[in-house]
Chain A
Amino acid sequence: MAAVVGVVVFPGSNCEHDVAEAVTALGGEARLLWHRDTSLGGVDAVVLPGGFAHGDYLRPGAIARFSPIMAAVREHAAAGGPVVGICNGFQVLCEAGLLPGALQKNAGLKFVCRPVRLRVTAGDTALTRGVAVGTELTIPINHFEGNYTCGPETLAELRAEDRIVLRYVDNPNGSVDDIAGVCSEGRNVVGLMPHPERASHPLLGSTDGVPLLRSLLVTAGAVAA
């Protein structure tokens, strides 16, 4: 049975169909979930996609975290279910307190939209299961507020617990410690600024996002089994 991935649609999300398409192409089943739903409908994994949820009003993710579906996402995460936030989804997870830290405006105040080199720096997460640590991937970023920041204690904790999942090879936005993605203590919640779904088919110029999405499907499949 195919692993079922729920993709949450907030008003202003704009990458949900890209994620659903990539999941389907890899043999998973994708289901779009409206942000006002109060149940995940039994999906095995959840993706919070990129975009501008609730117009990014106040701060990116600040209002999305109160969307009714977030209570169910929180429960799913607490039960060990895989949750991945991509770009705006990463911002939502940080605002919701499901991941530590915050994403502020890029250093240099530039919106950055281009493929970047990334290095996988932590394995055994919902997004890097079966991907060797040290693997380099080229995946697009597309953000204005992707400059990851956190307090020194949090940074020390992330390093000590091996929770920095992806690092930029050439830091494009000023993120502390070149951080492009982090995971939760349980390693089942992962947030990242790059868009693996935009590097999931040769026509898109890169398939480097595939190992990450496949890892999510494998993790989701383990939940389903």
Chain B
Amino acid sequence: MQFSVLVETRLRDGVADPEGATIERSLPALGFEGVSGVRVGKAFRFTIEADDQASARAEVEDMCKRFLTNPVIEDATITVAPAGGEG
């Protein structure tokens, strides 16, 4: 079965995010007031072949731990759903 996957990675809470902080400081200059807690991350979208959703998720979790994130500084949120479109 094909599953579509979205992995979002970001710096862990407590790890300084200078990029996010700079964006947050810049927003008021464009008139966007009241924005706080800006964190910058990356998103990965792909499809994966697996027997079922649980094993797809397990595979992606392993992928995150060993490659897509650096666990010293980053966290990941994983969303897995059956790949749609063809039936």
Neighbouring B residues of A101 by C-beta, 8 Å: 72
C-alpha spacing A94/B72, complex, angstroms: 10
- Interface size, chain A (Cβ < 8 Å): 18
Q: Indicate whether A109 sits within 8 Å of B73 (C-beta atoms), given known contacts A58-B68, A62-B67, A104-B11.
A: no
C-alpha spacing A104/B11, complex, angstroms: 10
Instruction: Tell me the total A-B contact number using a CB cutoff of 8 A.
Output: 32
Neighbouring B residues of A150 by C-beta, 8 Å: 72
Indicate whether A202 reaches chain B with its CB closer than 8 angstroms. Answer: no
Indicate whether B15 reaches chain A with its CB closer than 8 angstroms. Answer: yes
A105 touches B70 (CB 8 A): no
Mark each residue of chain A from 59 to 93: 1 if its CB lies under 8 Å from any CB of chain B, else 0: 10010000000000000000000000000000000
Mark each residue of chain A from 163 to 207: 1 if its CB lies under 8 Å from any CB of chain B, else 0: 000000000001000000000000000000000000000000000
User: Which of B19, B67, B68, B72 contacts A149 (CB under 8 A)?
Assistant: B72
Give min CB distance, B10 to chain A, whole Å: 12
User: Which of B18, B67, B68 contacts A109 (CB under 8 A)?
Assistant: B18
B15 touches A149 (CB 8 A): yes
Indicate whether A4 reaches chain B with its CB closer than 8 angstroms. Answer: no
Indicate whether B81 reaches chain A with its CB closer than 8 angstroms. Answer: no
B window 62-79: CB within 8 A of A: 67-68, 70, 72-73
Residue from B18, B22, B68, B70 whose CB has the most chain A CB atoms within 10 Å: B70
B67 touches A104 (CB 8 A): no
Mark each residue of chain B from 46 to 65: 1 if its CB lies under 8 Å from any CB of chain A, else 0: 00000000000000000000
B19 touches A105 (CB 8 A): yes
Give min CB distance, A85 to chain B, whole Å: 16
Indicate whether B16 reaches chain A with its CB closer than 8 angstroms. Answer: yes
A149 touches B70 (CB 8 A): no
Indicate whether A41 reaches chain B with its CB closer than 8 angstroms. Answer: no
Give min CB distance, B23 to chain A, whole Å: 10
Residues of B within 8 A of A (CB): 11, 15-16, 18-19, 22, 67-68, 70, 72-73
